[in-house]
Amino acid sequence: MSTFGINMPLKVHIICEHLRESFEIYGKTLRKVSDQVVEAAHHKVKTFFESRPNYNHKEKKSAESGRATLAGVVHFNSLNI
């Protein structure tokens, strides 16, 4: 969080800054919404990256790691979109 100047966890940011917008756009509450799709997607992406070490770098702050992550996301999307 400190690296990117974020002063709250991402989920808290989404609730504080974007939940109202969602209610206004869709006219619905989150009562019948599940995060199951998001969690399933996270699992699929994580599995993809773990099975391809060329996209994983221990030093996450390096430019090389950023390029590898982008290449991995592009590859993942090309197979799944």
With contact defined as beta carbons under 8 Å apart, do 48 and 72 qualify? yes
**What is the extent of the structural domain holding 16?**
1-31
Helix 36-50 vs helix 63-80: crossing angle, to nearest 10: 120
> 13 and 1 in one domain?
yes
> 41 and 11 in one domain?
no
The total number of structural domains in the chain stands at 2
> 48 and 14 in one domain?
no
> 40 and 55 in one domain?
yes
> 62 and 41 in one domain?
yes
pLDDT surpasses 80 at 2: no
> 45 and 25 in one domain?
no
47-56 pLDDT, tens digit each: 999 999 899 8
Q: How many other CB atoms are found less than 10 A from the CB of residue 55? A: 19
Selected residue with higher pLDDT from 76 and 17: 76
